[in-house]
Amino acid sequence: MYIWLFTLIEDLLSHQLSAAQESFLRKSIRGITFAAILFVSPFTIYHFLVGDYLIALFACLMLGVISYSAWNTLTGRLSYKLPFVLLTPSFLFFSWVAIEELGIMGALWSFPAVTMFYFIFPERLARVANLALLVVVLPRAFMELDTDIALRLVATLIGVSLMCSIFIRRLNSQHIELEQTASIDPLTQLSNRLNLHTSLDQAIEYSKTRGYPMSVLFLDLDGFRRINKTLGYEKGDQVLQNFGALLVGIVYSSDEIFRTGGEEFLILLNGSDSEAARQQAAKIHTALAQAHLAEGIKMTASIGVATIKPGETVYELLNRADANF
Q: Among 135-139, 281-285, 294-298, which range has the highest average pLDDT?
A: 281-285
Q: Which residue has the higher pLDDT, 169 or 7?
A: 169
Q: Which residues of 23-47 are buried (b: 16+ CB within 10 A; e: fewer)?
A: ebbbebbbebbeebeeebeeebeeb
Which pLDDT does position 279 carry in this prediction? 93
The whole-number pLDDT of residue 8 equals: 44
Q: Which residue has the higher pLDDT, 136 or 23?
A: 136
DSSP 51-81: T-HHHHHHHHHHHHHHHHHHHHHHTT----H
User: Residue 2 — pLDDT band, cuts 50, 70, 90?
Assistant: very low
Stretch 173-181: mean pLDDT? 77
Q: Measure the CA–CA gap between 196 and 256, rounded to whole angstroms.
A: 9
* Cα 218 to Cα 323: distance, rounded to the nearest angstrom: 10
Grade residue 284 by pLDDT with cuts at 50, 70 and 90.
Answer: very high
Backbone angles phi, psi at 251, to 5 degrees: -75, 165
The DSSP bridge pattern shows strands 256-261 and 214-221 to be unpaired
Q: Answer yes or no: is pLDDT of 38 > 60.
A: yes
Split at pLDDT 50, 70, 90, the class of 171 is: confident
Q: What is the pLDDT of residue 41?
A: 85
- Structure confidence at residue 83 (pLDDT): 81
pLDDT the model gives residue 268: 94
Q: What is the mean pLDDT of residues 13-28?
A: 68
Nearest to 277 by CA among 240, 319, 324, 241: 324
C-beta of residue 306 within 8 angstroms of C-beta of residue 203: no
- pLDDT higher at 70 or 247: 247
Determine the Cα angle at 310 with ends 273 and 194, to 5°: 75
Percent of the chain whose pLDDT exceeds 90: 15
Widest distance between CA atoms in the chain: 88
Domains by residue range for the chain, with CATH? 2-183 (no CATH), 193-323 (3.30.70.270)
Return d(Cα 38, Cα 66) in angstroms, integer.
13
10: pLDDT strictly greater than 50: no
Under the banding of pLDDT at 50, 70 and 90, the label for residue 17 is: low
- Is residue 32 within 8 A of residue 87, CB to CB? The reply is no
Answer yes or no: is pLDDT of 1 > 60. Answer: no
Q: How far apart are CA 310 and CA 322, in angstroms?
A: 19
Q: What is the dihedral of CA 231, 234, 237, 239, to 10 degrees?
A: -50
